[in-house]
């Protein structure tokens, strides 16, 4: 049986080696000591779970988690950090983390909590098939082909940036995303223009292309002073 893969992001060489040794009998481990290393791995590999430290040399682990969640609700994220304040734990969960474990940790507890998160996330073939197709009322989205059909079942010609913003909002499952988070979702798009007002323009175009002349604000809801959330039930 193929082992599940875990991205382990830790800048302390000793702890990185020790944690990887603990995980290897059970998982395939991909190691990174910085956010840049982690981004490179995520760009080239599919992982089943990410273990993220917070205090990394180039960027905070929260920044990496935020950009990951802007693009997708997968893989699940567990923070593994020496920061033990309630505020840090809340921040980790607010950006989309699935669990938060403080260092030093008990090896058995770490393995148990990893397995619990993986069970909750699910990984069956059926789940993967369902995940590739999203229905929002009368709107259909194929994630693999990046195609969208509006309420009249006509193809909605979304640009790459528009699709990225739409999927970030869809994957948030009703959670409000700030404009800064949504900018992370389109940072690699060729038609991206830095600036939070760009998100307002992209959302307006998405609403127009999907609403078929009806109220597009029901598809993507504006939360004043915060950002945007999905207004339709995902199925």
Q: What is the pLDDT along the chain (235 residues), one digit of tens a residue?
A: 678 899 999 999 999 999 999 999 899 999 999 999 999 999 888 899 999 998 899 888 888 888 888 777 788 999 988 888 888 888 888 888 888 998 888 888 899 889 888 887 764 344 444 456 788 888 888 877 788 888 778 888 888 888 888 888 887 777 888 887 787 777 544 444 557 788 888 899 998 888 865 666 788 899 888 889 888 877 6
> What six digits make up the tokens of 222?
């504006």
In whole angstroms, give the CA distance from residue 160 to residue 181: 17
Residue 226, both tokens: 């915060």
> Which domains, from first to last, does the chain contain?
5-123 (3.40.50.2300), 130-230 (1.10.10.10)
Q: Round to the nearest angstrom and report the end-to-end CA distance of the chain.
A: 31
Cα dihedral 91, 56, 164, 73 sign: negative
């Amino acid at each position: 049986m193929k082992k599940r893969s875990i991205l382990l992001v830790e800048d302390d060489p000793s702890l990185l080696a020790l944690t990887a040794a603990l995980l290897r009998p059970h998982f395939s481990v991909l190691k990174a000591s910085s956010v840049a290393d982690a981004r490179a791995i995520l760009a080239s590999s599919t992982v089943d779970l990410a273990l993220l430290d917070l205090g990394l040399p180039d960027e905070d682990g929260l920044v990496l988690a935020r950009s990951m969640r802007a693009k997708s609700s997968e893989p699940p994220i567990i923070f593994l950090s020496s920061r033990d304040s309630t505020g840090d734990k809340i921040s980790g969960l607010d950006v989309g983390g699935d669990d938060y474990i403080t260092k030093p940790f008990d090896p058995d507890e770490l393995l148990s909590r990893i397995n619990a998160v993986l069970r909750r996330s699910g990984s069956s073939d059926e789940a993967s098939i369902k995940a590739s197709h999203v229905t929002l009322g009368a709107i259909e989205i194929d994630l693999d082909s990046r195609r969208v059909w509006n309420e009249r079942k006509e193809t909605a010609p979304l640009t790459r940036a528009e699709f990225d913003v739409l999927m970030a909002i869809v994957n948030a499952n009703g959670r409000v995303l700030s404009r800064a988070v949504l900018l992370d979702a389109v940072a690699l798009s060729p038609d991206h223009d830095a600036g939070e007002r760009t998100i307002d323009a992209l959302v307006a175009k998405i609403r127009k292309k999907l609403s078929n002349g009806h109220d597009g604000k029901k598809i993507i809801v504006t939360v004043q002073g915060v950002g945007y959330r999905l207004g339709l039930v995902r199925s």
